[in-house]
Amino acid sequence: MDILKKESLKNIILNRHSTYNKEFITGKKIDDDVIKEILELAVWAPTHKLTQPWHFVVFANQGVSTFFMKQKEIYLQITLRERVSAIKLENTTTRQRKPRM
């Protein structure tokens, strides 16, 4: 493996992270071509016994708000009242955070 590919792979592995809804920037539209490319790359992720159970849904515009409100409803329905986290509820509906630098 040449050094450029090795460094690129190393950078990808070292900088991967989970993304949570509170990291999204409200009002910033992602170009459709970028979304398409991300989804095309996503199918290369490893799967259990090559089952490749891909099913993607892209939410846009009002659909994003509707999605998060539904998430909040589901959370409240399935979580015992005494275990409901006010912080988690706020994070589910706010979605505002400064971009990573």
53-88 pLDDT, tens digit each: 888 999 888 888 898 889 889 988 988 888 888 777
pTM for the model stands at 0.52
* Number of domains observed in the structure of the chain: 1
| Section 33-53 average pLDDT | 87
State which residues form the domain around 58: 3-94
Q: Quick check: is 74 in a domain? A: yes
- Select the highest-mean-pLDDT range: 16-20, 23-27, 75-79: 75-79
In a domain, 100, yes or no: no
Q: Is residue 81 part of a domain?
A: yes
Please report, rounded to a whole number, the percentage of residues in the chain having pLDDT higher than 90. 19
Does some domain include residue 77?
A: yes
In a domain, 99, yes or no: no
When mean pLDDT is compared across 2-6, 52-56, 80-84, 90-94, the lowest value belongs to 90-94
∠ CA 16-10-30, nearest 5°, is 40
Residue 101 included in any domain = no
